[in-house]
Structure 1
Amino acid sequence: MFLPCESIVLRTAAPIEIIDITARVQERFQRIGIIQGQVTLFSPHTTAFVCLNEKEQMLQRDMLDFLHRLVPADTDFRHNRNPIDGRLNAHSHLLGLLMTASQTIPVADGALLLGGWQSIFFIELDGPRDERHLLMQVNGER
């Protein structure tokens, strides 16, 4: 059984931000009551993504430093010379080449099968933004 998509609405506060959304996803998932199946999370944005990784404060700081160093925002990118929406965000799109817009998490015995160190993160690459959406689609058996 496929259930309608739900939207998780997020507000971001920094140009590049890693937001742990595990508890929000777990809470919504529990209300649905699927026993076996899968949950797919999808970011409908070109500069914001979803990933699974370890939640550890120093590692998250390393991740932010890595992203800032990998593609510096102050580089002269062609996309920034005449931005369509006024945002100088070429670096955000380029970083996005290394990320995925969706993650699918299996479900068994009514639980998301995340690894022992895995958390679910929303990755903002072009913030701050007043409103971002992450779509959640659940399918399976109740």
Structure 2
Amino acid sequence: MHTVQYTIPLATEAPIQILDVTETVREHHRQSGIRNGSLTLLSRHTTAFVNLNEREPRLQEDMLTHLKRLVPRDGDYRHNEAPVDGRDNAHAHLMGLFMNASETLPILDGELCLGQWQSIFFIELDGPRPERRLIAHFTGSRE
């Protein structure tokens, strides 16, 4: 049994941004040498998340529109009265209630088990941020 962990550095440029990290994760998978096992992706942030979904530009626009409608930035939120880091970001924390901080994918015969239309996204809800990190933790056999 082998374990390999990588930290994927990311920077975001928009208040809400969907970054496709699929190819970066696949490259780290190739480097890991894991043929059968699992990959756990973890965002160690409270306003940025991991998601599996379809990569289609109009759908991604719909996702952004939906999030903004669901939890408007200018809502009357108590967290914004005394924000921890000076950012009025209660809306980002509330959007995060509907997302996952981690995703786990099987690895079979050297391939990440993603569906035909699935991509791996890092979703920023409180950007722009010059430094974000995604942890990729691979566990399994190299045979």
1:141 corresponds to: 141
Q: State the alpha-carbon separation in 1 of the partners of residues 4 and 32 from structure 2.
A: 11
> 1:6: Cα distance to partner?
1.2
Could you tell which deviates more after superposition, 22-31 or 2-11? 2-11
User: Pairwise mapping of residues 77-116 of structure 1 onto structure 2 (< 5 A)?
Assistant: 77-116=77-116
Other structure's SS at 1:122 match: strand
1:71 corresponds to: 71
2:23 corresponds to: 23
Q: Deviations over 1:42-87 (max 9, x none)?
A: 0000000000000001000000000111100011100001111100
**Any conservation in 2 of the 1:2–1:137 contact (CA below 8 Å)?**
no
1:61 corresponds to: 61
TM-score, with length taken from structure 1:
0.98
1:122 corresponds to: 122
Q: Deviations over 1:81-104 (max 9, x none)?
A: 111110000000000000000000
2:131 corresponds to: 131
Give the % identical residues: 58
Q: Which runs of 5+ in 1 are unaligned?
A: none
- Paired amino acid for 1:134: L
Q: Which runs of 5+ in 2 are unaligned?
A: none
- Paired amino acid for 1:48: A
- Paired amino acid for 2:52: L
**Any conservation in 1 of the 2:4–2:32 contact (CA below 8 Å)?**
no
TM-score, with length taken from structure 2:
0.97
Over 3 Å counting, the alpha-carbon distance change for 1:49 and 1:115 in structure 2 is same
What value does the CA root-mean-square deviation take over the aligned residues? Answer: 0.7
2:3 corresponds to: 3
